[in-house]
Structure 1
Amino acid sequence: MSFSSDLGRFSVASLQAVERITRAIKLELFSGVILDTPVDTGRARGNWQTSTGYPKTSTVERFGANASLNEMRNSLGGLDGTTYLTNNLPYIEALEYGHSIQARSPDGMLRKNFARINQIVQRAINQHSI
């Protein structure tokens, strides 16, 4: 084996590890947001939409977390672009700030999950490093 081929293999393995880490961070962060969204009819959870390249600008008629989670898993993207998690319901901001009987926490679903971003990143690094 040559130094050049060793370096090439290390480079490929490192890039693959960074890709896995990036996807793991997005998966945990986005799942947390979706699952922490208060539920009355399930419409708010169902309207979380994942896209790459540009944020979605519409709403969808789906209810509950399952469809949002499935879309998210299939649309995470990796290092090749920005991944967006959007919810365009007119009352989503009010839910974030606790204007819901169903809200489990006054910390919201976005603020609560972003507050733990360092833990999410560290866990992903620990699990997916080369």
Structure 2
Amino acid sequence: MAGLDDFAKRIDRIAVRVEGNVEKTVKSCAQVVLRSVVEATPVDTGYARSNWTPELDRAFEGLFPARVPGKAGSTAEENAAAAIEAGTPTIEAFDIKNNESVHITNNAPHIQPLNDGHSNQAPAGFVRMAVMEGLATVKGAKIVED
């Protein structure tokens, strides 16, 4: 039965590669979504931009003050960089064997009006556009290698 044993070993090796490829794809998609949604969020004080928070297997429930407080968008780039930097370790910690999902949440009370187009700094639906951008980056991902 060497043939069946060899086949089983080959399937096990493929399964390990598939898991690794899925894990990389999830991380890549989440990172693109985080960067895109953070950078698209309109900025006045930095509060809304600072509150994009990745969490594994559940939605984040807290709130942060502006990471770099400002006025009239004066700290937009700094808040974007800080939010992305703060969220990246959580995304990188995703482990296909221990986690099911990455949630990217913003609990700022005014995030929905901003996403509805309340600010002229970003189009309505910028959150959906960020998710679509993330999906587009992984569309051709190789999960099962030849």
| Same-fold status (TM-score > 0.5) | yes
Aligned amino acid, residue 55 of structure 1:
A
| Residue from 91, 105, 109 that aligns with 1:86 | 105
| Residue from 74, 81, 84 that aligns with 1:69 | 84
1:17 aligns with 2:36: no
1:78 Cα deviation from its structure 2 partner: 4.2
The aligned counterpart of 1:100 is: 119
The aligned counterpart of 1:111 is: 128
* TM-score using structure 1 length: 0.80
Aligned amino acid, residue 31 of structure 2:
L
Q: Mapping of 1:31-70 within 5 angstroms?
A: 31-61=35-65, 62-63=67-68, 64-70=79-85
Task: Give unmatched runs, 5+ long, in structure 2.
Answer: 69-78
Measure, in 1, the Cα distance between the counterparts of 2:29 and 2:109.
27
| Residue from 3, 9, 28 that aligns with 2:7 | 3
3-state SS of the aligned residue for 2:44?
coil
Q: Deviations over 1:95-117 (max 9, x none)?
A: 1112124x13x233212223445
Aligned amino acid, residue 128 of structure 2:
R
> Which is higher, the Rg of structure 1 or of structure 2?
2
Task: Give unmatched runs, 5+ long, in structure 1.
Answer: none
Q: Percent identity?
A: 25
* TM-score using structure 2 length: 0.73
1:122 aligns with 2:126: no
Measure, in 1, the Cα distance between the counterparts of 2:105 and 2:130.
15
Q: Deviations over 1:57-101 (max 9, x none)?
A: 221022311222123211122432222111111111111112124
**Aligned Cα root-mean-square deviation (Å):** 2.3
